[in-house]
A and B are shown apart, each in its own frame.
Chain A
Amino acid sequence: MDDPTLPRERAARQLQVVSALAKILPDDCILYRIEDTHAYECDALTAYRQLPLVVAVPETEAQVAAVLRACHALNVPVVARGAGTGLSGGALPHSMGVSLSLAKFNTIIKVDPAARTAAVQCGVRNVAISEAAAPHGLYYAPDPSSQIACTIGGNVAENSGGVHCLKYGLTLHNVLRVRGFTADGEAIDFGSEAPDAAGLDLLPLVVGSEGMLAVIMEVTVRLLPRPALARCIMASFATVECAGGAVAAVIAAGIIPAGLELMDKRMTAAAEDFVHAGYDLDAAAILLCECDGTADDVEEEIQRAIEVLKANGATRIEISRDEKQRLTFWSGRKNAFPASGRMSPDYMCMDSTIPRKRLAEMLRAIEAMEVKYGLRCVNVFHAGDGNLHPLILFDANDADEFHRCELFGAAILEASIDVGGTVTGEHGVGVEKLNSMCVQFSAAERAQMMAVKSAFDPAGLLNPGKVIPTLQRCAEYGKMHVHRGALPFPDLPRF
């Protein structure tokens, strides 16, 4: 990122902010020397880096509130940050801002087995919640692939998904209450442990707000009874079209599997090479279909699913015999990213959602783009909910390759909008998809979203510059796009 500020001005501002924070935090909780702030210069979208002005690592909620008040008084942007596993640059620092690391808030406050809830601090890792709930036969359902590292605060900020959200929903559907601070350090509560809260339902705004509306300190999540049994069907298909058709047919038959994932041939080969799961290397696509519940539920669902898969051209079907084999089936899918990392120095993971019926068409379009941009792409999908994760392989040391990769990514997102989809299914907009937001939303819609941000944060200090592109940026991006492929009311004069 370009830094338009002169070094001298920046140094003066840094001194000012550090002095203000020194009244609030112990010395070792304030980082500002380059060697200390380097670790914070990016999240998991490493292609975008920016050194923050200062990093604050508070230890108590009172300190967080005081840091926010101080930053508010000085008009300093604040970028909250969890584990830094985000894939869209949502936690990319602001060159003149404070990166607020919430890593120290890692206490599980309470697991309530009778109410099936857990109250946890924002820095608790996703998987740690399920581990704490396990003795009660309960677990936290959303399971993003990074679940061993990512924190619940980040999950809430991004509305993270995972391979099981077809049946169990995204973060939003599993969070009851979020407690935190407004931009000026005032305590605020969204949602409740009751089924709803009075007034407008602001929880869907806060969940997925990418740190732009409030700073999240504590989250109460819903826990579910752990299913007694899970079994996975692995089905091979001779064409991607067939596999896409089978996905639609499973859903049409009234089956909502716990997971329904698709890998293309190249991804399967890369994964097999990495984990040796015994994938069918001759198949054009592999479908993983997981059924969970009690033994008799699973039996019933597996039989129905197999019938549908066979009727839709599955060439080979294998059912996991035991837990070990089920995990083996999943190992390649869960390791799709590191497996791709072995094929190429770098990869860019895209994340769009399209209507399921357009899967095959979309895959063909991506193949054509590989030729056009001269880069390879491997594909894994949360096929059940139409969420694509094409991984574009490139070399970041080659500026031209990086540029082509960015164009390739933007082309996938725009093709997704054209078929009635969206530019991000679960990774968020961050900085990565700002341009694509210009295509998906009209100027009035973006202005309304900006106004939503201002309603929460009138001074515009929480994670500014993310998610909602400015009018100017969109004008520069400036192609003439037909909004979402077709206007909802084509004859109407637009305002």
Chain B
Amino acid sequence: MDARTSALQRLTQRVLEARDGKTALNIRGGNTKHFYGNPPRGEMLDVRGLSGIISYEPTELVITVLAGTPLAEVQEVLAARGQCLPFEPPHFGPSGTLGGMVAAGIAGPARASVGPLRDYVLGVTMLNGMGELLTFGGQVMKNVAGYDVSRVIAGSMGILGVICEVSLKVMPTLPACNTRYLDIDEAAALRQLNRWAGEGLAVTASSWHQGRLHVRLGGAIAAVGRCQRQVGGREIAPQDAAGWWSDIRDHRHEFFALTDSELQRGQCLWRLSVPDTAQPIAFLGEPFIEWGGAQRWYRSTAPAAQIRSAASAVGGHATLVRAADKSPGAFAALTQPLMQIHRRLKQSFDPAGILNPGRLYAEL
């Protein structure tokens, strides 16, 4: 029996024991995203025993990886063949895994131009709460056989199953890229970003903070050259630009790094996901804006209910990402019919309620 089969057998055994004993399991890979979602609880279920790349064929644009494989390792292998995970998943630490990446479902600066992480999930093999090993999706680009469960697993925070294996669509790295900045105010920056998106400008990342708009252009060499002239502003040296975007992606930029004392004083980091045309939300203070205006971060001590209603008033929702106290719930409340479906889904995948209980919503 090979290492991955025995690792899987151990995981299955643990799930079955937990089911029988009604023991909560805290599914864990590299433990880099413990701060995200509601606080983890239960016995640790480490999936790093399932590690390694099962197959990678650059001409198929598909990689299949065991869930405990370090993200950094996968990205290195892809880069060697001129390919990448285009949604730019964050590295909140060096040890993050592919399973954790999919379970959290977080995309980085390129999200607005390439789509969400779930669009790149082609298939998932997982253990449900009854210890059944199930595969949904597959290894091909177009697949509408049965319900697309694998993509629901993306961002599910581990409440439906233990991810064991993932197949992802990968893409070629763009031939050219260029980062520039302009000094303009928030409202003007939002208008400009929307206009560029409508004109098909090759913007692959954007940020606005403290009066400065950064844009990253990417694509064919000719296209990037043309867009540079259209955007104007000033260019940033390539190595500095790479650092700028990865500091935002990984929350190393000081805006995202709340100190212990700030947290103790009730300072919170909020993520607002809104339509990219939403007007600035004045009372929340100055945001850090990404994704062409669609992802807006705020540091605030305002009550959760007030922030959430401001977000839903513009057609979005607010996630409490970093806080000393997550009792308002990390994620915005659902409508009653949606919560009903969530409850029944949870019940069907994990009837004993042992997989990451409460991590997404207290009642799941």
- Whether B148 lies near A442 (C-beta < 8 A) is no
- Whether A455 lies near B138 (C-beta < 8 A) is no
Given A296-B220, A458-B344, A452:B147 Cβ within 8 A? yes
Binds A, one of B20-28, B128-136, B233-241, B247-255: B128-136
**18 A-B contact pairs sorted by A residue (CB < 8 Å):** A112-B277, A192-B273, A192-B316, A192-B317, A194-B317, A200-B160, A204-B152, A224-B200, A227-B200, A254-B173, A301-B220, A385-B142, A420-B140, A422-B142, A449-B146, A455-B341, A488-B125, A489-B5
Known: A193-B315, A205-B149. 20 other contacts (CB 8 A): A115-B194, A116-B197, A172-B148, A173-B115, A198-B332, A199-B331, A199-B334, A200-B159, A201-B155, A205-B148, A252-B58, A254-B82, A385-B142, A386-B141, A387-B141, A448-B134, A456-B344, A458-B344, A491-B2, A495-B130
CB proximity of B58 to chain A, nearest CB, Å: 6
Digitize B178-219: 1 where CB-to-A-CB distance is under 8 Å, 0 elsewhere.
000000000000000010011110000000000000000001
Digitize A48-74: 1 where CB-to-B-CB distance is under 8 Å, 0 elsewhere.
000000000000000000000000000
Does B59 count as interface, using CB distance less than 8 angstroms?
yes
- Whether A198 lies near B317 (C-beta < 8 A) is yes
Bound together, the chains give a CA A440 to CA B317 distance in angstroms of 38
Q: Which of B61, B142, B155 contacts A161 (CB 8 A)?
A: B142
Which A447-495 residues have a C-beta within 8 angstroms of B? 448-449, 451-456, 458, 467-468, 484, 488-492, 494-495
- Whether B142 lies near A441 (C-beta < 8 A) is no
Interface residues on B, range: 35 or more
- Whether A200 lies near B133 (C-beta < 8 A) is no
CB proximity of A84 to chain B, nearest CB, Å: 18
- Whether B294 lies near A422 (C-beta < 8 A) is no
Hey, which chain B residues are within 8 Å of A209, CB to CB? 147
Does B327 count as interface, using CB distance less than 8 angstroms?
no
- Whether B344 lies near A454 (C-beta < 8 A) is yes
Bound together, the chains give a CA A427 to CA B152 distance in angstroms of 21
Which A143-183 residues have a C-beta within 8 angstroms of B? 158-159, 161, 165-166, 169-170, 172-173, 182
Does B48 count as interface, using CB distance less than 8 angstroms?
no
> Of residues A224, A433, A452, which shows the largest number of chain B Cβ atoms within 10 Å of its Cβ?
A452
- Whether B345 lies near A200 (C-beta < 8 A) is yes
CB proximity of B56 to chain A, nearest CB, Å: 12
Hey, which chain B residues are within 8 Å of A484, CB to CB? 135, 138
- Whether A194 lies near B344 (C-beta < 8 A) is no
- Whether A208 lies near B223 (C-beta < 8 A) is no
Hey, which chain A residues are within 8 Å of B331, CB to CB? 198-199
Main secondary structure of the interface of A (DSSP, over half): loop
CB proximity of A202 to chain B, nearest CB, Å: 7
Does B228 count as interface, using CB distance less than 8 angstroms?
no
Please give the residue numbers on chain A whose beta carbons come within 8 Å of chain B beta carbons, in ascending order.
112-116, 136-138, 158-159, 161, 165-166, 169-170, 172-173, 182, 186-189, 192-202, 204-205, 207-209, 213, 224-225, 227-228, 248-249, 251-252, 254-256, 293-294, 296-297, 299-301, 353-357, 382, 385-387, 420-429, 433, 436-437, 440-442, 444-446, 448-449, 451-456, 458, 467-468, 484, 488-492, 494-495
Which B1-58 residues have a C-beta within 8 angstroms of A? 1-2, 4-5, 8-9, 12, 57-58
CB proximity of A170 to chain B, nearest CB, Å: 7
Hey, which chain A residues are within 8 Å of B266, CB to CB? none
Bound together, the chains give a CA A343 to CA B77 distance in angstroms of 49
Identify the closest chain B residue to A227 (Cβ).
B200
Please give the residue numbers on chain B whose beta carbons come within 8 Å of chain A beta carbons, in ascending order.
1-2, 4-5, 8-9, 12, 57-62, 82-83, 105, 111-112, 115-116, 118-119, 125, 128, 130-136, 138-149, 151-152, 154-156, 159-160, 165, 171-173, 175, 194, 197-200, 219-223, 226, 273-277, 291, 294-295, 315-317, 319, 331-335, 337-339, 341-342, 344-345, 347-349, 360-361
- Whether A297 lies near B222 (C-beta < 8 A) is yes
Hey, which chain B residues are within 8 Å of A456, CB to CB? 341, 344
Bound together, the chains give a CA A489 to CA B8 distance in angstroms of 8
- Whether A194 lies near B315 (C-beta < 8 A) is yes
Hey, which chain A residues are within 8 Å of B223, CB to CB? 293-294, 296-297
Given A188-B338, A195-B291, A425:B273 Cβ within 8 A? no
Identify the closest chain A residue to B64 (Cβ).
A488
CB proximity of B113 to chain A, nearest CB, Å: 11
- Whether B294 lies near A195 (C-beta < 8 A) is yes
Hey, which chain B residues are within 8 Å of A169, CB to CB? 115, 119
Q: Which of A429, A446, A489, A492 contacts B144 (CB 8 A)?
A: A429
- Whether B338 lies near A199 (C-beta < 8 A) is yes
CB proximity of B103 to chain A, nearest CB, Å: 12
- Whether B142 lies near A170 (C-beta < 8 A) is yes
Hey, which chain A residues are within 8 Å of B125, CB to CB? 488
CB proximity of B294 to chain A, nearest CB, Å: 5
Bound together, the chains give a CA A324 to CA B211 distance in angstroms of 48
Hey, which chain A residues are within 8 Å of B60, CB to CB? 248, 251, 355-357, 386
- Whether A495 lies near B59 (C-beta < 8 A) is no
Bound together, the chains give a CA A256 to CA B169 distance in angstroms of 13
Bound together, the chains give a CA A87 to CA B338 distance in angstroms of 31
Q: Which of A173, A201, A297, A452 contacts B348 (CB 8 A)?
A: A452
CB proximity of B193 to chain A, nearest CB, Å: 11
- Whether B142 lies near A195 (C-beta < 8 A) is no
Identify the closest chain A residue to B119 (Cβ).
A173
Hey, which chain A residues are within 8 Å of B221, CB to CB? 300
Bound together, the chains give a CA A344 to CA B295 distance in angstroms of 54
Given A192-B315, A194-B274, A224-B200, A468:B146 Cβ within 8 A? yes
> Of residues B112, B139, B219, which shows the largest number of chain A Cβ atoms within 10 Å of its Cβ?
B139
Hey, which chain A residues are within 8 Å of B143, CB to CB? 353, 422, 424-425
- Whether A425 lies near B144 (C-beta < 8 A) is yes
Hey, which chain B residues are within 8 Å of A429, CB to CB? 144-146
Q: Which of B111, B154, B175 contacts A195 (CB 8 A)?
A: B111
Hey, which chain B residues are within 8 Å of A204, CB to CB? 118, 148, 151-152
CB proximity of B273 to chain A, nearest CB, Å: 4
Hey, which chain A residues are within 8 Å of B316, CB to CB? 192-194
- Whether A137 lies near B9 (C-beta < 8 A) is no
Identify the closest chain A residue to B331 (Cβ).
A198
> Of residues B60, B105, B274, which shows the largest number of chain A Cβ atoms within 10 Å of its Cβ?
B60
Bound together, the chains give a CA A444 to CA B127 distance in angstroms of 11
- Whether B59 lies near A251 (C-beta < 8 A) is yes
